Amino acid sequence: MASFPKANESAHISIEMEIKEMLKNLPPQSKECCIYRTPEKLRKVNGNGETYTPRAVSIGPFHRGQQHLQAMEEHKLRYLQSFLPRTGSDLGPYVERVRTWERDARNCYAETIDLSSDAFVKMLVMDGSFIVELLLRSSHIREGKNQSDHSDRIFSSPWLIDDLGRDMILLENQLPFIVLERMLRLVDRNLNENPSMLKLTYEHFKSFLTLHKYPDNIRPADVKHFLDFLRHCHLPSPPKKWRKGGPAIEFSPSATRLNEAGIKFKVRESSCLLDVNFKSGVLEIPNLEIDDLTETLFRNLIAYEQCHCNEKYIIHYMALLDSMINTPKDVELLIDQRIITSRLGSNEDVMILFNNICKEVVFGHDVYFSSLCQILNAYCRTPWHRWKANLKRDYFHTPWAAVSVVAAVILLMLTFIQTVCSIKSLIKSP
> Per the structure, how many domains does the chain have?
3
Neighbours of 56 (CB within 10 A): 20
Cβ distance 313 to 349 under 8 Å? no
Q: Give tens-digit pLDDT for 246-284.
A: 555 778 999 999 998 889 999 998 878 888 999 989 999
pLDDT of residue 216: 81
Q: What pLDDT is stored for residue 209 in this prediction?
A: 74
Whether 354 and 419 share a structural domain: no
Same domain, 109 and 195: yes
Burial 144-162 (b: 16+ CB within 10 A, else e): eeeeeeeebebbeeeebbe
Mind listing the pLDDT tens digit for each residue in 323-368? Answer: 999 999 999 999 999 999 999 889 999 999 999 999 999 887 788 8
Is residue 127 domain-shared with residue 196, that is, in the same domain?
yes
29 belongs to a structural domain: no
Q: Please report how the helices 294-308 and 347-357 are oriented relative to each other, as an axis angle in degrees rounded to 10.
A: 10
CB atoms within 10 A of CB 359: 12
Based on the domain organization, do 328 and 275 belong to the same domain? yes
Tell me if 124 sits within 8 A of 100, measured CB to CB: no
Range of the domain at 300: 255-386
Cα 339 to Cα 44, 96, 286: the distances in Å are 30, 52, 6
Is 246 among the domain residues?
Answer: no
Residue 5 counted as domain residue? no
Same domain for 230 and 275? no
Residues 227 and 335 reside in one and the same domain: no
Residue 394 has what pLDDT?
52
The pLDDT of residue 396 is above 50: no
Asked if residue 185 and residue 93 are part of one domain, the reply reads yes
The mean pLDDT value for 111-135 works out to: 96
Residues 137 and 225 grouped into a single domain: yes
Q: Across residues 138-150, what is the average pLDDT?
A: 71
Pairing between β-strand 264-267 and β-strand 282-285 as defined by DSSP bridges? parallel
Count CA atoms closer than 13 A to 352's CA, side-chain side: 8
Say if residue 73 is in the same domain as residue 221.
yes
**DSSP category for residue 183:** H
Average pLDDT over residues 389-402: 52
Average pLDDT along the chain = 84
* Domain assignment of residue 239, yes or no: no
Q: Is the peptide bond before 28 cis (omega within 30 degrees of 0)?
A: no
- CA 393 to mean position of chain CA atoms: 36
Give residue 215's pLDDT band: very low, low, confident or very high (50, 70, 90). confident
Tell me which of 42-51, 111-120, 193-202, 405-414 is least confident: 405-414
Same domain, 181 and 309: no
Instruction: pLDDT band for 175, please (50, 70, 90 cuts).
Output: very high
pLDDT tier for residue 384 given thresholds of 50, 70 and 90: very low
